């Protein structure tokens, strides 16, 4: 992070080091299945703390996890859309991050397992994310959520 607070992108030197660590091959050059497997395996390096609860649900027709910690306020929710360029990533690969998001924000998190490309081409992932958000709004009263206290986050 720079002195002004803006984040800098990795330098060319950083990218060369990452490529060297990966045996001279940039991760973007790996087959998609290998990229997915690497992301899934990375979650095992940072398991969530024992007080994290992740409950599988269907948010409409979209698989999702409710992720909470004891301090999570029930009326505030962050709808989390995992990273991976709509082609890699999952509930499992991002659960450690979502657990920290819930802990640090004091909010419940609904993590969406949207369909991935190329098996499910655009706009499948966007439709899933929209369906989950619509489900949150449609069920806000029964879930004890203030609709004005729903945030959307993605990394």
Give the distance from CA 81 to its chain's centroid. Answer: 5
> 21-53, pLDDT tens digit by residue?
655 555 667 899 998 998 898 888 888 899 999
DSSP per position, 93-125: HHHHHHHHHHHHHTEEEEEE-PPPTTTS-TTHH
Cα–Cα nearest to 42, from 101, 111, 93: 93
pLDDT at 1 over 50: no
Q: Each residue of 46-73: pLDDT tens digit?
A: 888 999 999 999 999 999 999 999 999 9
For residue 48, what are its two tokens?
Answer: 């969530």
* Lookup result for tokens 């419940």: 108
Distance CA(16)–CA(38), nearest Å, equals 19
Q: How many CA atoms lie within 13 A of 90 on its CB side?
A: 13
Q: pTM for this one?
A: 0.80
């Amino acid at each position: 992070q720079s002195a002004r607070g803006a984040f800098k992108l990795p330098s060319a030197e950083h990218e060369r080091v990452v490529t060297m660590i990966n045996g001279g091959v940039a991760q973007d050059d790996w087959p998609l299945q290998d990229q997915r497997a690497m992301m899934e395996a990375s979650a095992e390096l940072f398991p969530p703390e024992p007080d994290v609860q992740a409950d599988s649900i269907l948010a409409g027709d979209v698989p999702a996890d409710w992720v909470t910690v004891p301090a999570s306020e029930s009326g505030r929710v962050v709808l989390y859309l995992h990273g991976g360029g709509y082609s890699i990533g999952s509930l499992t690969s991002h659960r450690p991050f979502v657990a920290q998001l819930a802990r640090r924000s004091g909010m419940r998190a609904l993590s969406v397992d949207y369909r991935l490309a190329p098996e499910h081409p655009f706009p499948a992932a966007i439709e899933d994310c929209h369906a989950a958000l619509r489900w949150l709004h449609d069920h806000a009263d029964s879930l004890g959520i203030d609709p004005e206290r729903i945030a959307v986050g993605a990394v």
